[in-house]
A and B are shown apart, each in its own frame.
Chain A
Amino acid sequence: DVKVTQSSRYLVKRTGEKVFLECVQDMDHENMFWYRQDPGLGLRLIYFSYDVKMKEKGDIPEGYSVSREKKERFSLILESASTNQTSMYLCASKGPTNTGELFFGEGSRLTVL
């Protein structure tokens, strides 16, 4: 069974803290994605990666960075968390075929105080 695992389901951080959100997939997928989901705004793409050490900016990369050192792991980093980064963060992976199926993790709900 396919599995995307996000390390933390709930986090509470303070403004200015550095935050790491980890995501691991066990499907040997090349493509991995980080989205954030906010009420009324839907899912917005932050960054994606189509190979190890490769990354591309999504629609809202400001304030975020990512790391893809291994194929199975894609990390989202908030260098200095701000209150407007309070959100649900969803990691997803996708295989190389021309399908639209993203496999999502359960999400990480981040609250920045």
Chain B
Amino acid sequence: RKEVEQDPGPFNVPEGATVAFNCTYSNSASQSFFWYRQDCRKEPKLLMSVYSSGNEDGRFTAQLNRASQYISLLIRDSKLSDSATYLCVPRGGFQKLVFGTGTRLLVSP
């Protein structure tokens, strides 16, 4: 089983829609989790950190379900600028972050 699994998408949604991505992880010892955003041909950048059951930042909500070992990212009121690939990143061993392959989101007018 892969350490991190994400649906590659693409998820095609209209502006204003609500969209959610899930990510499953295999290392039950992971204590912290992160969502990174990567624009086309750009480097990844941190979007959100999730340390307990969840985190909310404006239109973005991340939730953690430790029992089922998955993390979700919910985006409300999608904007064109939200089009990107979203990478799920559980924290593994010492300083080691394990990146998922990402879920691609396309927001259309």
> Chain A: residues with CB nearer than 8 A to chain B?
31, 35, 40-45, 48, 50, 58, 90, 94, 98-102, 104-107
Chain B residue numbers with a CB within 8 Å of A101 are 34, 46, 49
A45 to B98, CA, bound (A): 8
Stretch of B9-17, B76-84, B89-97 on the interface side: B89-97
- Per DSSP, chain B at the interface is loop
Chain A residue numbers with a CB within 8 Å of B94 are 50
Size class of the B contact interface (CB-based, 8 Å):
20 to 34
B100 touches A42 (CB 8 A): yes
A94 touches B101 (CB 8 A): no
**B7 CB, min distance to chain A CBs, angstroms:** 13
B46 touches A41 (CB 8 A): no
Closest to A32 in B: B95
Contact of B99 among A31, A35, A94, A98 (CB under 8 A): A35
B101 touches A100 (CB 8 A): no
**B69 CB, min distance to chain A CBs, angstroms:** 17
Chain A residue numbers with a CB within 8 Å of B101 are 40-42
B99 touches A42 (CB 8 A): yes
Closest 6 pairs between A and B when the two form their complex, measured CB to CB: A42-B101, A104-B43, A100-B34, A43-B99, A101-B46, A31-B95
Q: Does B65 contact A (CB under 8 A)?
A: no
Closest to B4 in A: A42
Chain B residue numbers with a CB within 8 Å of A58 are 96
